[in-house]
């Protein structure tokens, strides 16, 4: 299911997408084969701890600004209200 979702989504070149997976469940080669960047889940969660991030923009202690999507399978949506 995850591989099918990866093939259907696209940033259309507007931003980069990195999927962090545990290599034993989904490999770097699988992620990169459909055009996304890959990171090792165990390493990346040390820096980007999902328990500490909030949905949307986050500023890290070193000044790096990231956009966090906790459930990427739901997609990115925009609502103009």
Which pLDDT score, from 0 to 100, does residue 1 have?
45
Do 44 and 26 touch, CB atoms closer than 8 A? no
Which pLDDT score, from 0 to 100, does residue 16 have?
81
Domain boundaries of the chain, sorted by first residue: 2-74
Do 5 and 25 touch, CB atoms closer than 8 A? no
Number of separate helices (H) and strands (E) present in the chain: 3, 4
Which pLDDT score, from 0 to 100, does residue 8 have?
54
* Per-residue pLDDT tens digits for 18-77: 888 999 999 999 999 988 999 999 999 999 999 999 999 999 999 999 988 888 777 656
The token pair at 23 is: 């290599």
């Amino acid at each position: 299911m995850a591989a099918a979702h990866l093939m259907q989504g696209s940033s259309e070149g507007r931003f980069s997408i990195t999927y962090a997976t545990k290599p034993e469940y989904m490999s770097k080669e699988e992620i990169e084969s459909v055009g996304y960047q890959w990171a090792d889940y165990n390493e990346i969660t040390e820096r980007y701890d999902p328990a500490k991030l909030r949905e949307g923009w986050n500023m890290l202690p070193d000044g790096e600004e990231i956009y966090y999507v906790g459930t990427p399978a739901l997609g990115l949506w925009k609502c103009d209200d």
